[in-house]
Amino acid sequence: MSTIIAPSILAADFAELKKEVEMVNRSEAEWLHVDIMDGMFVPNMSFGLPVCEAIDRYNKKVMDVHLMIEEPGRYVDEFAKRGAEYITVHVEACKHLHRDIQLIKSLGCKAGVALNPHSSVSLIEDVLPELDLVLVMSVNPGFGGQSLIAGTFDKIRRVKELIKKTGSKALIQVDGGVKNTNAAELVAAGADVLVAGSFVFSSDDPIKTIADLKADLA
């Protein structure tokens, strides 16, 4: 399977949201990553349901919703109604992680769990067979434009080993500080999906940036 590229709309120009979503539609990216932040679980707020609905009106890619919110189970059905195909929650944000995963799947969505840089890989061991995606945060969540934390490569390898051991079919996604200079090494470590925000949206030609990244990884 070739590496999936998921541009993070957090880095887009929100005043030009329709144009930015249509740019991703024309690109070789397979997914569109949508970051939801509540100012509680993470020290920043992004946007919520109405904006997600607006994105869904134009988006033609797989909508991958990353919930950086406390008790995300309260909102997963609302995001499912607004086009989310993958819904990812954070281990530390859920009181009942297994129940939230079941809820996501009962809505017909694919379920992901995110590990913060400090979160032990062992935290997902018991739910791994239920998961479609493990999101390895390569920065502390809350902001775009940060540098990838070096320990990420080893963490991806440990998640990969656990996936093999448990027979899980989960994809490994990496999010934060992803660029052309680290993408190949992330994939070599075991990443299946690369989220890229500022690297894509701050470039002069985002469509070419995505195409070049795909070509580098082919």
Ligand X SMILES: O=C(CO)[C@@H](O)[C@H](O)COP(=O)(O)O
- How far, rounded to the nearest angstrom, does the alpha carbon of residue 213 sit from its chain's CA centroid? 17
Whose structure tokens read 């740019």? 23
Candidates 8-16, 57-65, 81-89, 155-163: pick the segment binding ligand X (CB under 6 A). Answer: 8-16
Least distance (Å) between residue 97 CB and ligand X: 19
| Residue among 4, 5, 11, 67 that touches ligand X (CB under 6 A) | 11
Tell me if 83 is assigned to a ligand binding site: no
Which residue, 106 or 181, has its beta carbon nearer to ligand X? 181
Return phi, psi of residue 66, to 5°: -110, 105
Candidates 21-29, 88-96, 134-142, 183-191: pick the segment binding ligand X (CB under 6 A). Answer: 134-142
Tell me if 132 is assigned to a ligand binding site: no
Tell me if 41 is assigned to a ligand binding site: no
Catalytic residue among 13, 35, 56, 126: 35
Tell me the CA distances in angstroms from 114 to 101, 117, 133, 173, one per residue in order: 12, 10, 8, 9
Spell out the SS3 assignment of 72-130: HHHCHHHHHHCCCCEEEEEHHHCCCHHHHHHHHHHCCCEEEEEECCCCCHHHHCCCHHH
- Considering only residues 39 to 68 of the shown chain, the ones binding ligand X according to CB under 6 A are 66
**x/- map, 141-180, ligand X, by CB under 6 A:** xxxxxx----------------------------xxxx--
Q: Quick count: other Cβ atoms within 10 Å of Cβ 129? A: 12
Distance CA 109, CA 177 (A): 27
Residue 102 binds ligand X (CB under 6 A): no
| Residue among 10, 55, 87, 210 that touches ligand X (CB under 6 A) | 10
Assigned token pair, 92: 């530390």
The DSSP call for residue 38 is B
Residue 119 binds ligand X (CB under 6 A): no
| Residues 195, 33 contacting (CB under 8 angstroms) | yes
Residue 205 catalytic? Answer: no
Whose structure tokens read 């030609």? 205
Residue 175 catalytic? Answer: yes
Which residue, 124 or 139, has its beta carbon nearer to ligand X? 139
Distance CA 78, CA 49 (A): 7
Which residue, 38 or 132, has its beta carbon nearer to ligand X? 38
Which residues line the annotated binding site for substrate? 8, 66, 142-145, 175-177, 197-198
Q: Which amino acids are annotated catalytic?
A: 35, 175
Residues that bind ligand X (CB under 6 A): 8, 10-11, 33, 35, 66, 139, 141-146, 175-178, 195-199
